[in-house]
Amino acid sequence: MKPLSTVRTLGDGAIDGNSGPNAAACKNATVAVDGQAASLAHLPGPVLHINSDGAIVGLNEEGTYLAHSLHEGDAAQCLAQLRALASTAAETSIQSVSWSEESQTRWMEATVIPTDDGGAFIVGRDSTLEINMRLALVDSRQRFKDLVDVSSDFAWETDTAGTFVFVSPRGALGYSADAMVGTVARDLLYRISDPPSRFAFEAQDIIEETELWLKNADGNAACVLASAKPVWNKLGERTGARGVCRDITAERLRENDIARMKVREQVIAYVVDAVRDEARPTDMLSTAVTSIGKAMTDTACAVYQRESRDSLNLVAHYGSLPESRELAEAIDRVCTDFAAHEDFVGGHRTLMTATHYRNDMNGAILLSRESETEWNAHDRSLIDAVAGQLGIALQQVSDQKELERLSRTDALTGLFNRRAFTEELERAIHRSRRNGFQSAVFFVDLNNFKAVNDTHGHDVGDRVLTRLSDILRAAARSYDFVARLGGDEFALWFENIDKQAARRRAGEIIRNCKSLDQFSGAPDKRLGLSIGIAMDQPNSVETSDGLLKRADAAMYRAKHSRKHSISMARDKTSPQ
C-alpha cells in the first residue's frame, strides 16, 4: 500500500453502502479535521472514516486503494465486517480481518477508534506476511509431526547424563514413548560391557549414521542407525543431545541370513571337497570339523563314530568341548533318532545330530559354544546338511579300518599276521627298552600237524589251529600280543617278564594244549608244541628281526630235542 498522506472527504460518487468506488469523484482538497483525524493522518497504512450509517466519509490515499479492493468479489464481506465494527465500536479495539485478492488471502489488523458522530476511524496494518509466516510455521510443524508419527524412525532428546527427556510419540523398539522417557540410554545397549566409542545418545559432536545394537522390549537385539548432534544453551554449555534413529534390524538380519547362507554353502562345499579329495578318511574328518568350527564364531565341533549299538567314540574335534562324562551322557541321547538335539552341558550350549550312511546311523556331529547365543535355523540347517557327508566319511573310516584289519589279521584265527606282528614288535621293543623292562618273544610250532590234515582233513586242521589260537590268546595279557606267522607257526610278545616267568608261561601253554592230542593223526604222531624263547634286555641294540630269528632257532632246537619242548635262546652276547 502507498504511504499515508492526507485524510480526504468524498463528494459525488462517494464510496457508500450502495455504490462502487469512483476515484474521479474524490476531491483532492484537504478537509478541516479535528485533533483525532490530524493524529491519524500521520499513521502508516490505510485509514477509513465510517459514519454511523456505514458510509465511508473519509479516507487517505492508501485507504482509497483499500476501499477499491474491498468492493471487488469476495472482499465485500470484509467491507461489511468493517462497517459493522464501526457502528458498534464503543471503545478502541483491534480486530483481524481477511479477504481474497488476486486468488490470495490478505490479512489486515484493523484498529477501530470510535468518533463523536457515532462512527469510527478504521486504521489498518497489513499483517499478511506475518500471518502467512505463522501459518507456514504451524503447517511445517504439523508436517514434521505427521512425518514423525508415521515414520519407522524415532526422534529423541537426551540430557547431559544421557537420559531420554523426549521420544517421538510412537516410541521405539517396542517401548512406548512414556516408558523410554527417564531411561538411561546406555541401559538399552545389547552388550552393556562393550559400549561404542562414540555413543550417539551422548553426542559431543555431530554423529552421522552410526550403527548401534540395542535391546528391544522383548530383550532381543535390535540394530538402529543413529544420527545425532549436541545441544547447547546460550552460554555455550552442552545441555544434552538430540537426533533420530532408524530401526534397521530387519535389514541387518536379512544381510546376516544371506551371509550365513553363504558361509553354510561354503562350509558344505568344503566338507564335500574334503570327503572327496582327502586320501585318508581320518584327514577328511579333521578337515571338516576344523572348517566348521572356524566358520562359526566361538564354536567347537566334534565328530563321533558309532562303534557298537550303544557306543559313540570321539574321532575328530576342533575347539574346547565340555567335560567328557557329562558330554557322553548327552551324546547317548542322540542315538535315538535323526533329529537335531539341543542341550546345556557343563556350561556349554550344544547342538547334536546323528550322522548316517544309507539310512543307518553311524555316528554324530556336535556343535558346542560357551556363549548364551541360542542356536538358530541356519545352525540347524548347516549341521543337518553336513551330517550326510560326514556319515559318508565315517563309513570310509570304517571301511579303511576293516581293510587295515584284514591286511594285518589272519583270516582263520583273527590273530595278527606276520606283517602286523613285525610292525607291532618293532614298536613294542622300543617301548620296553625305554621303560627298562625285560621282555620275551615266543616262537611256537605245532608238532605233527601235517598228519592231522592228511588223516582228518583240512577242516579238522583248521579247528586245531583255531583252538590253539584261543589258548595262546588266553595266555597273553592286555599289553601282550599274538600272531599266526603262517601254517602252524605262531609268535607271542610278552612285555615286562623275566626268564623264569617266561619259562613258566611257556609250560602253562604246553599243558593247556594237551587237549589237542585228541586230534592227532596217528598214535605215533601225537600233536604237541615246540616253543623257542628269546629274551630282550633293556640295554640291547638287537633288531626285531634278530630277536625273532633267535626265538625261531630256539624253537627248532626244542623241536629236535627228545627231552624238552621248550628251549631258551642263547643271549645275544653268548657264544654260539
Structural contact between residues 240 and 213, judged by C-beta atoms closer than 8 angstroms: no
Q: Which amino acid is at 407?
A: S
Q: How far apart are CA 291 and CA 386, in angstroms?
A: 11
What pLDDT, on the 0 to 100 scale, is given for residue 128? 85
SS (H, E, C) 163-215: EEEEECCCCECCECHHHHCCCEHHHHECCCCCCCCCCHHHCCCCEEEEEEEEE
Q: In the prediction, which pLDDT does 574 show?
A: 44
Predicted pLDDT of residue 534: 96
Question: Which of 16, 21, 113 is closest to 55 using CA atoms?
Answer: 16
Residues 6+ apart with CB under 8 A from 119: 49, 50, 51, 52, 53, 57, 86, 87
Helix, coil or strand: residue 523: coil
Contacts of 238 (CB under 8 A, 6+ apart): 160, 204, 230, 231, 232
The alpha carbon of residue 569 and the mean position of all alpha carbons in its chain are separated, in whole angstroms, by 69
By the 8 A CB rule, do 331 and 364 touch?
yes
Q: Which residues contact 163 (CB under 8 A, 6 or more apart)?
A: 182, 183, 184, 185
3-state SS record for 289-307:
HHHHHHHCCCCEEEEEEEE
DSSP codes, 447-512: ETHHHHHHHH-HHHHHHHHHHHHHHHHHHS-TT-EEEEEETTEEEEEE-S--HHHHHHHHHHHHHH
Strand order in the sheet with 238-247: 164-167, 154-158, 238-247, 221-232, 207-215
d(CA 194, CA 212): 11
Q: Is domain 8-132 annotated with CATH 2.60.40?
A: no
Per-residue confidence (pLDDT) for residue 568, from 0 to 100:
94
User: In the chain, what are the domain boundaries?
Assistant: 8-132, 151-247, 254-399, 418-568
Alpha-carbon gap, residue 458 to 515, rounded angstroms: 19
Asked if 8-132 and 418-568 have one fold, the answer is no
The grid coordinates of residue 431 equal: 617301548
Dist CA 99 CA 127 (whole Å): 12
Half-sphere exposure of 185 (CA within 13 A, CB side): 27
Angstrom distances, CA of residue 570 to CA of 116, 468, 498, 549: 158, 27, 14, 11
d(CA 439, CA 478): 15
Nearest to 5 by CA among 30, 36, 22, 25: 30
Domain 151-247 annotated CATH 3.30.70.890: no
Strand order in the sheet with 311-318: 311-318, 300-308, 360-369, 348-357, 341-345
Distance separating alpha carbons of residues 69 and 74, to the nearest angstrom: 10
424-445: b or e for each residue (b if 16 or more CB lie within 10 Å)?
bbeebbeebbeeebbbbbbbbb
Q: Cβ of 223: how many Cβ atoms within 10 Å? A: 19
**CATH fold group of domain 418-568:** Alpha-Beta Plaits (3.30.70)
Short-list 469, 554, 477, 459, CA closest to 512: 469
| Stated length of the chain | 576
The DSSP annotation for 52-87 comes to TTS-EEEE-HHHHHHHHHHTSGGGHHHHHHHHHHHH
Q: Is residue 125 within a helix (H) or strand (E), and if so which, with residue range?
A: strand 120-126
Comparing CA positions, the residue from 219, 215, 200 lying closest to residue 155 is 200
Checking DSSP bridges between strand 566-568 and strand 528-536, what pairing results, if any? parallel
CA dist., res. 510 & res. 503, Å (int): 11
487 Cβ contact list (under 8 Å, min separation 6): 449
pLDDT value of residue 379: 82
Domain 254-399 sits in CATH at 3.30.450.40
Give the whole-angstrom CA distance, residue 270 versus residue 254: 24
Q: Identity (one letter) of the amino acid at 462?
A: D
Q: Are 386 and 355 in contact (CB under 8 A)?
A: no
pLDDT at 229: 94
Q: How far apart are CA 537 and CA 179, in angstroms?
A: 85
Nearest to 121 by CA among 185, 48, 36: 48
Q: How far is CA 123 from the centre of its chain?
A: 75
Over its length of 576 residues, how does the chain's per-residue pLDDT go in tens digits? 333 344 554 443 344 444 433 333 333 222 333 555 666 666 778 888 888 888 888 888 788 878 877 877 777 788 888 888 888 888 888 888 888 877 788 888 889 989 888 888 889 888 888 888 888 887 777 777 666 665 557 889 999 999 999 998 888 888 998 999 999 999 999 877 667 878 999 999 999 989 898 988 888 888 999 999 999 998 999 999 999 998 888 888 787 777 667 766 777 776 777 666 666 767 778 888 888 888 777 889 989 888 776 677 888 889 888 776 667 666 666 656 667 788 888 788 888 888 888 878 888 888 988 877 778 777 888 888 888 888 888 888 888 878 877 888 998 999 999 999 999 999 999 999 999 999 999 999 999 999 999 999 999 999 999 999 999 999 999 989 999 999 999 999 999 999 999 999 999 999 999 989 899 989 888 998 999 999 999 999 999 999 999 999 999 999 988 667 999 998 875 443
Q: pTM (2 decimals)? A: 0.46
Is residue 74 within 8 A of residue 19, CB to CB? The reply is no
Cell numbers standing for residue 240: 544434552
- Residue 28's pLDDT is 29
